[in-house]
Amino acid sequence: MTLVILAAGMGSRYGGLKQLDPVTENGEFIIDFSIFDAIRAGFDRVVFIIKEENAELFHQTIGSRVEKYIKVAYCFQSLSAIPEGTAVPEGREKPLGTGHAVLCAADLVKDNFAVINSDDFYGREAFEQLAKHLKQAKSGDCCMVGYRLKNTLSENGSVSRGECCVDEQGNLCSVTERTKITPAGDHAVYEENGTAVNLPLDTVVSMNCWGLTPDVFAKMKLNFKVFMKKLAEAENPLKQEFYLPFAVEDLMKSGDVSVKVYNTDAIWYGITYKEDKPAVMAGLRAMIDRGEYPAKLWK
């Protein structure tokens, strides 16, 4: 099984390449914990999706120390990686989205695979759930690990999350993007058309933790081509993106895939803002002290 890691983004609110900001006394990054957990769960290969200009830095800081434990490959997300007959709107510099990033890895992924963000800590349970599903998944039999909203909020500012609608059988029905979510006592609120709307803290949200089968690439490529052709006429062609959750949702609507949702009560850790880092470090330190992780991941 392959672990695909989305690492081409630069954290604008964070102010730098947060994927390479140490979160332990030993200089480990959040991405190290994800790879460590993935190896424990049975993944044997990792594909980093990065910007080409960061290739040497990624190899020096991450690839060179994990390639002793897992097979490593790299691919680049760039604005030039688009379907024939389409064009990037003039003046566009922003990446084309997480769905496009995954498509950039299509030639490197031939088996069932998981997709995660490089700067999110998902916890051991998430990778165990992904691995258990992917080891027996057939064509189009996909999955997602869903988190409780209350376990994904930041005390230092608002966040965006994908609100998941899940049916009684535990299958994903839809993902709705909610922006500017902030805690508000026994609930949270998000902003919609300038109005604050309540959102229960137990709401299941997507944190871009997916289990997919390789046959999704062909259909996603067709949908991405449609996206690119419409982009020039879009309301905001310089910022609109081909997001992975909505790319998967399109495949669900067309009947090409089904998505099983595995809920977890684990606390998600991420550094959206620089002020989030101390809490992340404290949380990881506590898990190390409890013996959930070794003092040094890569001995």
pTM of the entire predicted model: 0.93
Q: Taking the CB of residue 93, how many other CB atoms lie within 10 A of it?
A: 8
Q: CB neighbours (10 Å) of residue 192?
A: 11
Q: Considering only CA atoms, which of 98, 82, 18 is closest in space to residue 269?
A: 18
pLDDT digits (tens, 9 = 90+) for 242-263: 999 999 999 999 999 999 999 9
Mean pLDDT within 203-223? 96
Distance, in Å, from the CA atom of 46 to the CA atom of 72, rounded to the nearest integer, reads: 5
DSSP character at residue 88? P
Domains, in order of start, for the chain: 2-289 (3.90.550.10)
Question: Looking at residue 258, what is its pLDDT?
Answer: 96
Confidence of residue 227 (pLDDT cuts 50, 70, 90): very high
**Whole-number Å distance between alpha carbons of 24 and 64:** 18
Q: How do residues 2-14 score in pLDDT, each as one tens digit?
A: 999 999 864 444 3
pLDDT at 151: 95
User: Both tokens of residue 203?
Assistant: 């709401």
For the stretch 155-206, pLDDT in tens is: 888 999 999 999 999 999 999 999 899 999 899 999 888 888 999 999 999 9
Helices (H), 75-175: 98-103, 124-134
Q: Tell me what pLDDT residue 18 has.
A: 55
Tell whether the model's pLDDT for residue 213 goes beyond 80: yes
Q: How far apart are CA 31 and CA 119, in angstroms?
A: 6
What local confidence, expressed as pLDDT, does residue 17 receive? 57
